[in-house]
């Protein structure tokens, strides 16, 4: 496992790193330090076809300063960059470091970056995806190293109830982010392990927001170049600066004329998972059906297990309405992931049904 430790000033004078992952960050930093005004960024593709969008320098700089202010991270902080820097979450760690003059430690993205022996010295700040946070919490060595750090940002995918329970046992502050490439990383945060559980996200300063007639969130601010960014996220505005995320509008299916929120089914499914069985990757989806139009189903990564299926269905039927009980379980070898580690649900379903 290779490591690259650098700073803004060092990048100006040192030779480029050989590792291809680090080289991407190096070339971006060179472009930034030479005053480039526009940058092309990839979207993750978790909710649609991946695309390239152009972001202005000021948008990136404003986002970086907002995060540093919100999390009280001054110049000279040490950060760990263990995410893919070709996508917004990893790239913004580089931008924040350049804008705030932080020391950057780069490692290859992996499920548990804190197991690398050379990373024994605590970091002031690191950003993780839920998969990494889960792996770190599940290992005594990496968990201890995480506890010694200053602040943790987790995003890129939903945090499961199981991971939330583990996170609340941590003393290091852990914040969940809300945002996307189009908003230049996060525009809202909630602390997962506050003394009193924060269910709502709080918008960062200077972010304007509201909902459309579908109750889907829109945001606008300097980070969006003052352009309105309309999302498909169903939310409940809970105060002048907070909101509760309900689920995605495009995660609602129509089964026999009845609407089913797939995010809700996933949450209830996890609550019903047998305690004596390790939680397997899964997601609820739909299958075309002559009678219902869209039939509610579940994909589970792993070998077929009728016992798990029966236990979940029995418990779930007591927590949801009859039409919200899945009509079929499909156990598959692997759930397809996006380059940023999110579950690629449409691609997984398409592959399964076209076999």
Q: What is the pLDDT of residues 133-148, one digit of tens each?
A: 999 999 999 999 999 9
Give every CB contact of residue 139 below 8 A, 6+ residues apart in sequence. Answer: 112, 115
Longest pairwise C-alpha distance within the chain: 67
Q: Are residues 70 and 111 in the same domain?
A: yes
- Cβ atoms within 10 Å of 133's Cβ, excluding its own: 24
Distance CA 184, CA 178 (A): 11
Per-residue pLDDT at 321 = 94
Query: What letter does residue 168 receive in the DSSP assignment?
Result: T
Asked if residue 214 and residue 133 are part of one domain, the reply reads yes
- Cβ–Cβ < 8 Å for 142, 115: yes
Q: Nearest 5°: phi and psi at 322?
A: -55, -40
In terms of phi and psi (left: phi > 0; alpha: psi -120 to 50; beta: otherwise), the region of 198 is beta
Q: What pLDDT score was predicted for residue 49?
A: 67
**Residue 241 and residue 282 in one domain:** no
Phi first, then psi: give them for residue 85, nearest 5 degrees.
Answer: -80, 0
pLDDT of the residue at 315: 95
At which of 232, 249, 266 does a domain end?
A: 249
Q: What is the DSSP code string of 209-264?
A: EEE-TTSEEEEESGGGTT--EEEEEEEEE-SSSEEEEEEEGGGEEEETTEEEEHHH
Same domain, 337 and 223: no
Query: Do residue 245 and residue 291 come from a single domain?
Result: no
User: Are residues 210 and 266 located together in one domain of the fold?
Assistant: no
If phi over 0 gives left and psi between -120 and 50 gives alpha, with beta otherwise, what is residue 206?
left
- Answer yes or no: do 241 and 261 share one domain: no
Q: Which of 282, 244, 287 is nearest to 265 (CA)?
A: 282
Main-chain dihedrals φ then ψ at residue 309, nearest 5 degrees? -60, -45
Cβ(117)–Cβ(107) under 8 Å? no
Q: Which of 249, 268, 297 is the last residue of a domain?
A: 249
C-alpha distances out from residue 103 to 4, 74, 98, 258, Å: 11, 11, 9, 53
Q: Where is the domain boundary, 233, 249, 265?
A: 249
Residue 78 maps to which CATH number? 3.40.50.12780
- Is residue 45 domain-shared with residue 160, that is, in the same domain? yes
> Does 150 share its domain with 218?
yes
The burial class, CB within 10 Å (0-12 / 13-18 / 19+), for 290 is exposed
Give per-10-residue mean pLDDT for the chain (355 aa): 90 92 95 96 70 94 97 97 94 98 96 92 96 94 97 91 94 97 95 94 96 96 96 95 92 92 93 91 94 95 94 94 96 91 90 89
3 Cβ neighbours under 8 A, 6+ residues apart: 105, 106, 107, 116, 118, 119
Query: Is residue 260 domain-shared with residue 242, that is, in the same domain?
Result: no
Q: Residue 278 sits in a domain of what CATH number?
A: 3.30.300.30
Total domain count for the chain?
A: 2
Is 72 in a helix, a strand, or coil? coil
Q: What is the pLDDT of residue 340?
A: 79
What does the pLDDT read at residue 48?
Answer: 59
Residues 228 and 294 occupy one common structural domain = no
In terms of residue numbers, what domain contains 202? 3-249
Residues 194 and 307 reside in one and the same domain: no
The whole-number pLDDT of residue 120 equals: 85
């Amino acid at each position: 496992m290779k490591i690259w430790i650098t700073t803004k000033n060092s990048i100006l004078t040192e030779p480029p790193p050989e590792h291809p992952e680090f080289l991407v960050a190096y070339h971006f930093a060179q472009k930034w330090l030479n005053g480039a005004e526009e940058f092309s960024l990839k979207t993750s593709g978790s909710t649609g076809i991946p695309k390239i969008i152009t972001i202005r320098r000021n948008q990136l700089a404003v986002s970086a300063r907002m995060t540093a202010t919100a999390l009280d991270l001054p110049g000279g902080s040490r950060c760990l960059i263990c995410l893919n820097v070709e996508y917004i979450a990893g790239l913004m760690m580089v931008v924040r470091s350049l804008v705030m003059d932080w020391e950057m430690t780069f490692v290859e993205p992996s499920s548990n970056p804190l197991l690398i022996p050379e990373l024994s010295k605590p970091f002031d700040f690191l950003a993780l995806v839920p998969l990494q946070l889960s792996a770190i919490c599940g290992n005594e060595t990496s968990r201890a190293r995480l506890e010694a750090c200053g602040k943790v940002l987790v995003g890129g995918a939903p945090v499961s109830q199981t991971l939330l329970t583990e996170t609340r046992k941590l003393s290091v502050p852990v914040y969940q982010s809300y945002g996307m490439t189009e908003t230049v990383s996060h525009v809202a945060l909630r602390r997962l392990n506050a003394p009193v559980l924060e269910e709502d996200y709080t918008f960062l300063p200077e972010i304007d927001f509201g909902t459309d007639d579908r109750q889907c969130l829109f945001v606008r601010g300097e980070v969006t170049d003052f352009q309105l960014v309309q999302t498909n996220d169903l939310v409940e505005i809970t105060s002048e600066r907070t909101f509760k995320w309900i689920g995605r509008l495009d995660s609602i299916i129509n089964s026999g004329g009845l609407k089913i929120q797939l995010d809700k089914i996933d949450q209830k499914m996890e609550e019903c998972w047998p305690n004596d069985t390790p939680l397997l990757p899964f997601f609820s989806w739909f299958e075309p059906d002559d009678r219902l139009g869209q039939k509610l189903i579940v994909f589970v990564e792993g070998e077929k297990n009728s016992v798990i299926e029966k236990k979940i269905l029995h418990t779930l039927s007591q927590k949801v309405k009859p039409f919200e009980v899945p009509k079929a379980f499909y156990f598959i070898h692997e759930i397809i992931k996006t380059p940023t580690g999110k579950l690629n649900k449409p691609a997984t379903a398409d592959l399964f049904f076209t076999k």
